[in-house]
Structure 1
């Protein structure tokens, strides 16, 4: 889906990521009047939340929510593409982002033809990063067996391919995301044996003001509770999977209860026969591109790195804005609200960059954009701030328990790409490593295909626990190449931009 580019002299905004935040940012940036480009690695719009098959979204299947918002954004996007104000590049994976005081330079790999990958280089006056997040995992004995997958992976197979993993599935980990995955799997034929939530619902009593302020979230939770009851799925709180068992594939798991301190109560261990384990402990933000652009990162309440932004979604790099899970995990509605703010404010920044003399400023120093845009942003900011308070409460209720550090065995694999075990990480620490980066250099944990995306969190936590040093998550987030690319692209660094169309 592409359109002719605007005049090269016009201000331009590049949006990276076409999920809820990216779609909202691209549409609202383009509606300000300048040229906008939207780049995403997926084959279809919508990201992980609105992941769908080629036939499109269907709210009646119980898998997709807030379809009206998606359809509204898609309709507006289609009109902007037809008007030549927005260009969309799907199946393009951004691997490099350079942003300085003069411009932003983006390099992406065109993966539409896997046998002949090409490069797209784009210059922009401002960038909106809406690159999302992925499942956070913690290792435990047997987690590398076939049949163990993330809850996000189970949902992606169901949404994108209509495949219900199973037949006997156990869902475990922490966070409200476990509930829609379990109910959706059951509704599509899987026998869900239970949901094992590491934390306890009583935590919400300490967060009642934030919960009561979001009646829609309460209704949604009630719907999932009814779904669990309808499919007779037991919800076991304060319960975790401590080990997976099997030969060529998963055959059973051991579950156990946690005490109030988050320690495993050994006498509660029991074995459950299963075919599939879907497990997840929240999400980790995609931090590679923000790190490349020099954006400040901070550790959020749920223990993951996120991009730090101001009230306009601007990062510490004045040319880079961020929205959605990139700034902290809070759900699709929050992502859309942040995308609206980021898109409009990025367009304003791009306009000022292209013409420092205008548009004329209001008394508060902001450019005099249309009143309707200002109202839209003000409404989005109110929605954003309200949903952020709910997200903070949610993270307080569902922290990652530390029990897994006590269940590891020397042979437990931490880095699946390089098959690095706990014993090898301990050997690196015994050799003098005192931080996750040095452990990585000595043990190769995080040097495989995923470049530490899966094992970086666990390696950092394990290193801090063993050495008594502060937890450092930033060490595994700095990746000069954000995605696998052909070596030939490194021989020709992205210095000359392509046109805004392929």
Structure 2
């Protein structure tokens, strides 16, 4: 069974380092850990969540009594197979599944040391040592603010799915789904299948970007079939798809009561006079995903700019990063979905184990990665979206920094990049550390290529754990 946070072995570590430590138990992490164990490696699988699956395979807690959790996913059999392999390897001692272990920093060396927090208690910490590390931390959603986005009832598209998958609840009864990217169709089809009314899916692009990669589309028929399935569900429920459009304002006082949707030009600027109101009680919004790579960038790993402007880790054909001993699989190398993540997890594990990689696996990874790059280019945000912001629209929710103050920092105080704006306004200095507002702040600052975030702590850590770091770092002491 997965190791619990109260297990003394999880707190003290073990005398011998693991062959491989995998950070993240989503599709890439599960595939990597189970493949590595198949090949004879000792493996630690660390994850911040209480159960495996990550965000993609998020599922209800057993206490909720969900009879058919598979109905909330379009590829549940893949997770069931990975989960069964994980259970078998944990029983046989080849994988230690360290649940609720949130890794906040790593020390490089011939043997790596990963430091994890297990909760708020001063002794709720663990140190895990391994000869190789694979980063499979996934991604988080990109948000572009608009007037009213801080009202109760506005959630991220992935958040709406998480509420449904993990809690079996809906963010509202009549939900507008808005933003850009394939996650919108998946979220909308899940919501209507669960009984919600979705009056519109509001997509900022027109999907014409996919026409530049007809060969890539033809090489990925499963992706086309997946999109067709979501489209069929929406068509059956009478959901209207509004392309080249965006939610430019949310209405309500204590709760969402409606939205204004406007057409966009080629640069994502709202077309004057095109606004139309849609009544609703919730909005699920998002503009794609951003790789979660803070652990690697703090150590100096090289990055690349994805076609949608996101910063991802640079990896070679064997999924090695620029740091010896560190590999990355799945969304950390560029967002591409569960199929790609599983393929990269398997491939990286084989490389780490020194085993040949089957040609079919290499080809599968190339096809899926090519589709990911095409998808990113097709949904890249246009620069004109800032035109739908008012001066009093909060951009940084944590620190309540409005767009007007950021523009003042740029136009009157000379800030020319996101870091300077942050120093002048505190935008990005709150609890989320810029994960919600970072892309928007960079765009308002005219920072077309902001650097990857680098911070010594990848997540909040209690001071008591930092104070006790030295004895916790070496279990032999």
Q: CA contact under 8 A between 2:247 and 2:259: conserved in structure 1? A: yes
User: Cα RMSD (Å) of the superposition?
Assistant: 2.2
Paired residue secondary structure (1:156): helix
- SS of the equivalent of 2:166 reads helix
- Residues in 1 aligned to 2:19 and 2:430: alpha-carbon distance in whole angstroms: 36
CA distance in 1, matches of 2:105, 2:66: 31
The match for 1:366 is none
Match of 2:450 in 1: 472
Q: Give the alignment's TM-score, normalised by structure 1.
A: 0.88
- The aligned counterpart of 1:147 is 153
Deviation at 1:116, TM superposition (A): 6.4
Aligned residue-pair number: 466
Matched, 1:410 2:388: no
Instruction: Tell me how far apart the structure 1 counterparts of residues 221 and 168 of structure 2 sit (CA, whole Å).
Output: 31
* Secondary structure, counterpart of 1:263 in structure 2: coil
Q: Give 1:164 deviation, angstroms.
A: 1.8
What does 1:317-356 correspond to in 2, within 5 Å? 317-348=323-354
Match of 1:196 among 192, 202, 208: 202
The offset of 1:403, in angstroms, is: 3.0
**Which digits, 9 at most, give the CA deviation of each residue in 1:116-160, with x for residues without a partner?**
660001121110000000110011111111111100000000000
1:491 partnered with 2:470: no
Structure 1 residues 209 and 413, CA, compared in 2 at 3 Å: closer, same or farther? same
Note the 1:94-113 alignment, pairs <5 A. 94-100=103-109, 102-111=110-119
CA contact (8 A) 1:313 1:338 kept: yes
Q: Find the partner of 1:22 among 29, 36, 44.
A: 29
Secondary structure of 1:191's match?
A: coil
Q: Distance in 1 between matches of 2:60 and 2:293?
A: 28
Q: Distance in 2 between matches of 1:347 and 1:496?
A: 29
CA distance in 2, matches of 1:272, 1:314: 48
Show the 5 A alignment for 1:163-174. Answer: 163-174=169-180
Aligned equivalent of 1:264: 270
Aligned to 2:244: 238
* Deviations 1:362-392 (CA, angstroms, capped at 9, x unpaired): xxxxxxx4xxxx25x5432221111111111
CA shift for structure 1 position 482:
0.8
What is the SS of the residue equivalent to 1:266? coil
Residue 20 of structure 1: how far off its partner (Å): 0.1
Deviation at 1:202, TM superposition (A): 3.0
- On the 8 A contact 2:60/2:69 being kept in 1, the answer is no
Secondary structure at the counterpart of residue 403 of structure 1: helix
1:452-498: CA deviations, max 9, x gaps?
Answer: 1111111111111xxxx543142xx1121111111112223357546
Secondary structure, counterpart of 1:229 in structure 2: helix
Which stretches in structure 1 are left out of the alignment for 5+ residues? 349-368
Residue from 419, 432, 439 that aligns with 2:414? 432
SS of the residue 1:62 aligns to = helix
Gap runs ≥5 in structure 2: none
> How far apart are residue 8 of structure 1 and its match?
4.3
CA gap of 1:32–1:495, structure 2 versus 1, over 3 A, is: farther
For residues 171-221 of structure 1, the C-alpha deviation after alignment (integer angstroms, 9 at most, x for no partner) is: 011111111111111111111111011111333322211111111111111
* CA shift in 2, pair 1:117/1:333, >3 Å: farther
Structure-1 residue corresponding to 2:381: 400
Please say if residues 17 and 111 of structure 2, whose CA atoms lie closer than 8 Å, have aligned partners that are also in contact. no
Equivalence for 1:38: 45
